[in-house]
Amino acid sequence: MAGVNKVILVGNLGKDPEVRHLESGSVVANVTLATTEAYKDRNGNRVENTEWHDLEMWDGQAKVAEQYLRKGSQIFVEGKIKSDTWQDEQGNNRKKMRIRVLSFTMLGSRTGAENGGAPQGNPNTMNQGSPAPQTSASMPSSGVDMDNVEDDLPF
Amino acid sequence: MAGVNKVILVGNLGKDPEVRHLESGSVVANVTLATTEAYKDRNGNRVENTEWHDLEMWDGQAKVAEQYLRKGSQIFVEGKIKSDTWQDEQGNNRKKMRIRVLSFTMLGSRTGAENGGAPQGNPNTMNQGSPAPQTSASMPSSGVDMDNVEDDLPF
Amino acid sequence: MAGVNKVILVGNLGKDPEVRHLESGSVVANVTLATTEAYKDRNGNRVENTEWHDLEMWDGQAKVAEQYLRKGSQIFVEGKIKSDTWQDEQGNNRKKMRIRVLSFTMLGSRTGAENGGAPQGNPNTMNQGSPAPQTSASMPSSGVDMDNVEDDLPF
Amino acid sequence: MAGVNKVILVGNLGKDPEVRHLESGSVVANVTLATTEAYKDRNGNRVENTEWHDLEMWDGQAKVAEQYLRKGSQIFVEGKIKSDTWQDEQGNNRKKMRIRVLSFTMLGSRTGAENGGAPQGNPNTMNQGSPAPQTSASMPSSGVDMDNVEDDLPF
DNA sequence: TTTT
DNA sequence: TTTT
């Protein structure tokens, strides 16, 4: 059969990770990631298009996510598409796709310390009324060894 | 903002492409692709897990798909995740994810000849004296240039 | 027939891009990019391993590189492997591999302002009311559309 | 630092794998892989361009390669760029790039058994005088569990 | 629903 | 030669 199912994303978190510590001891983090592409429409105007992705991280990854990722964090993600299927109350077949994260890497870092902590523009005035993530001052600079976080569940 | 949204798949078609020729002149092909991964469970038994992907191809790609792809065809796909959102009859927000194909490549040889599919052309007249690799006799499309099919809608 | 040759890199520039404006009117930028991976050796010590990549960008890309990329800039790159072969003075066959960049994306915020690099423009006028994510204030290029820079030479 | 160094290839082997069993017990397979792209030049003629890649596989992978891969085999490869540097006899710095394979998948299979073993074209008359790989009858159909072969050396 |  |  020989299949390949690979997803590569670079984007920003829409909100802080939602982390659940399961009774089994496993940890799951759910993360929403925006990838935006810009192009010119036929009138030459710049148009932006944002796609929101639902990411699922487990265990070691989830813990790193909990500790270091915040709304606005920019990450590189490698994962695979994974769908859940079920029947809703009306008996209709439903399907939800998620990205099961296999590894991620935090991008950007060095978030402003070297310029004396001066705010970089005023995020409150940017993206007004927007559902989009914003890079804020909360990027970890760590020192911790979590650059590239991998995980290996069997499926 | 700087986003990346990339999907790479290798798998087999679940059925023949469904192709619609729109009044606008555009052509769309919808394709279902299975990617299967195998792993051993904790008892050492081989387990297979299949993920089904809904692919969307446009125009030139769609025509190539219509002509050459068949149920069972193995392809390499590069694309991006693209979701449609809408409200269903109950007023619930619904979301459907698709893979918008940016390019695909037919894999293996003999792509459907045995089920009455694509004509084979005469491979003996292809690539004569060429330094390039060839799959044996049965590459579909012969003189046609569709090995690697690309498309560039703005979004 | 039917080949895929794809490279995906995230790393930092080792030095400012070297840009040549050719008589033909073409522009080439040569860039060195470091990708570093960290792992623990058998004694549990963190070890870093850096790979240096020679990137080649053309025309529109090269101009953007010249204007915005600096030593230390972090970028996401998609490209392909491309080798030159020749004979050296001793008549030995030689081969040099490069990454031909097909598109790149600047990562993080603040891409070099602190070392006198690219002008910042006025981010407050960017993407107003846009649904797209933004890095904070310092995205280079402001109104310029270079987030994701593509190029399409035939080979 | 956060680096990504990823290579994705689909192509055909230029010759049978060269396998060495080291005294340490490790096994290495060296494989050459051709990726060919076709495009039209400015006169509308189809041109093919082949890039040759030197792949390196270790241990479990190498054994699978030894057993199942042959000249002409079509594979999907995921790996990373890895260069060796040294000084040659003249004291010049030399560098050789390889692809360290992280996983590979055999493509195509079902290589002709179902059409009664009839030869698919005459490979001897194709690619005359060419250095290129050819798909021949030697593709394994196995039944063995080697579809997707992974390996995890620390670097 | 594919493929092995 | 980068970055952390």
Going by C-alpha positions, the residue among D48, D65, D30, D38 that lies closest to residue D150 is D65
- Report the alpha-carbon distance of residue B103 to residue B150 in Å, rounded: 4
Taking alpha carbons only, the member of D105, D110, D102, D104 closest to residue D142 is D110
| pLDDT band at C39; cut points 50, 70, 90 | confident
The H-assigned helical ranges of chain D are: 59-68
Q: Minimal Cα distance from A13: which residue of C?
A: C133
Whether the Cβ atoms of residue D28 and residue D20 lie closer than 8 Å to each other: yes
d(CA B135, CA D9): 16
Helix H or strand E segment including B61: helix B59-68
Contacts of B111 (CB under 8 A, 6+ apart): B68, B69, B70, B73, B74, B117, B118, B138, B139, B140
**What residues does B36 pair with on adjacent strands?**
B50
Looking only at the bridges linking them, the beta strands covering A27-40 and C27-40 are unpaired
Residue ranges of the domains in chain A? 7-135
Q: Is the dihedral of CA B81, B106, B39, A148 positive or negative?
A: negative
Please state, in angstroms and rounded to a whole number, the distance separating the CA atoms of residues B4 and A34: 9
- Do the Cβ atoms of D120 and B114 come within 8 Å? no
Q: Which nucleotide is nearest to D110 (CA to C1')?
A: E4
Confidence (pLDDT) at D90: 81
- Residue pLDDT, tens place only, A97-152: 999 999 999 998 654 333 333 333 333 222 322 322 222 223 333 334 456 788 75
> B131: closest CA among A30, D126, A10?
D126
Nearest CB partner across the interface for D155, out of C3, C8, C39: C39
Q: Of B127, D80, B116, nearest to C50 (Cα)?
A: D80
Of B68-72, B91-95, C107-111, where does the model show the most confidence?
B68-72
Distance of CA C36 to the CA centre of its chain: 15
Q: How far is the CA of B34 from the C1' of E4 (A)?
A: 13
pLDDT at residue number A82? 97
Q: How far apart are CA D45 and CA C46, in angstroms?
A: 53
Structure tokens at C77: 């790159």
Counting beta carbons within 10 angstroms of the beta carbon of residue B146, is it exposed (0 to 12), middle (13 to 18) or buried (19 or more)?
buried
Whether B14 sits with its Cβ under 7 A from any strand E atom: the answer reads yes
Number of CB pairs < 8 Å for B and D? 108
Interatomic CA distance for residues C45 and C61, integer angstroms: 40
Q: How far is C-alpha A22 from the chain's CA centre?
A: 21
Which whole number is the average pLDDT over C6-20?
98
**What is the band of A52 on the pLDDT scale with cuts at 50, 70, 90?**
very high
Judge whether C122 and C93 are in contact, CB under 8 Å: no
Mean pLDDT of C20-31: 97
Average pLDDT over residues B125-140: 30
Q: What are the chain A neighbours of C37 within 8 Å (beta carbons)?
A: 148
d(CA D84, CA D91): 15
Which of D71, D86, D141, D130 has its CA nearest to residue D108?
A: D141
Angstrom distance (rounded) from CA D92 to CA D101: 28
pLDDT, position A83: 95
A81 strand-pairing partners? A99
| Mean pLDDT lowest among C60-64, D65-69, D148-152 | D148-152
Q: Give the tens place of pLDDT for each residue, D92-133.
A: 888 999 999 999 999 986 543 333 333 333 332 222 223 222
- CA D142 to C1' F3, in angstroms, rounded, equals 46
Q: pLDDT band at B135, cuts 50/70/90?
A: very low
Neighboring chains of D (3 or more beta-carbon pairs < 8 A)? A, B, C
- For the cut 90, the answer to whether the pLDDT of residue C79 exceeds it is yes
> pLDDT value at position D150?
81
H-run or E-run covering A65:
helix A59-68
Compute CA distances D5 → A109, B3, B147, C55, D139, whole Å: 19, 18, 27, 13, 30
pLDDT at res. B7: 98
Cα(D8)–Cα(A118) distance, rounded to whole angstroms?
A: 42
Residue A47 CA, distance from chain mean position: 22
**b/e burial code for range D46-63 (CB count within 10 A of at least 16 → b):** eebbbbbbbbbbbeebbb
More confident residue, A30 or C131: A30
List the beta bridge partners of residue C87.
C93
Q: Does the pLDDT at position B32 exceed 80?
A: yes
Interface of D with B in 19-78 (CB under 8 A): 34, 36-38, 40, 46, 48-50, 72, 74, 76
- Of the candidates D4, D105, D147, which has its C-beta nearest A105's C-beta? D4
Give the DSSP letter string of C97-132.
EEEEEEEEEE-SS--SGGGT-S----GGGSSTT-SS
Contact B141, B123 (CB under 8 A): no
CB hemisphere CA count around A152 (13 angstroms):
5
Touching D: B residues 8-27, CB under 8 Å: 8, 10
Nearest CA in chain A to D10: A4
**Residues A73, A31: Cα–Cα separation, whole Å:** 11
Q: C65: closest CA among C14, C30, C33, C24?
A: C30
Q: What is the mean pLDDT of chain D?
A: 78
pLDDT of res. A155: 64
Kindly tell me if the per-residue pLDDT of B125 is higher than 90.
no
pLDDT band at B110 (very low <50, low <70, confident <90, very high): very low
Residue B142: closest C-alpha in chain C: C1
- Residues D34-65: tens digit of each pLDDT: 999 988 899 999 999 999 999 999 999 999 99
How far is Cα C128 from Cα C123, in angstroms, rounded to an integer? 9
| Cβ-proximal residues to A133 (8 Å cutoff; 6+ apart), any chain | A12, A13, A14, A15, A34, A71, A72, C133
CA atom of D131 to C1′ atom of E3, Å: 32
Contact B37 D148 (CB under 8 A): yes
Q: What local confidence, expressed as pLDDT, does residue C149 receive?
A: 85
* CB spacing of C1 vs D39 below 8 angstroms: no
**Least confident range of B28-37, B38-47, C139-148, D82-91:** C139-148
Taking alpha carbons only, the member of B152, B76, A107, B71 closest to residue C111 is: A107
Kind of pairing between the strands at B27-40 and B46-58: antiparallel
Half-sphere exposure of A29 (CA within 13 A, CB side): 25
Q: What is the β-pairing status of strands D93-106 and D46-58?
A: parallel
Mean pLDDT of A62-90: 94
State the pLDDT at residue A68.
95
**B87-109 mean pLDDT:** 91
Give pLDDT, residue B147.
Answer: 67
List the single range of A7-11, B17-21, B131-135, C68-72 with lowest mean pLDDT. B131-135
Q: What is the mean pLDDT of residues B42-65?
A: 95
C-alpha to C-alpha distance for A71 and C123, rounded to whole angstroms: 20
| pLDDT at position C139 | 35
Q: Which nucleotide across the nucleic acid strands is nearest to B48, CA versus C1'? A: E4
The separation between CA D117 and the C-alpha centre of its own chain, rounded to angstroms, equals 25
Q: Could you give the dihedral angle defined by the CA atoms of residues D60, D62, D63 and D68, in that order, rounded to the nearest 10 degrees?
A: 120
Res. B142: pLDDT tops 70: no
pLDDT band at A90 (very low <50, low <70, confident <90, very high): confident
Q: Which of the pair, B151 or B10, is modelled with greater confidence?
A: B10
The protein residue nearest nucleotide E2, judged by CA to C1', is B14
What average pLDDT does this structure show over B44-69?
96
CATH annotation of C7-135: 2.40.50.140
Q: Which of D4, D76, D147 sits opposite A1 (nearest CB)?
A: D147
What's the CA–C1' distance between B112 and F4, in Å?
A: 52
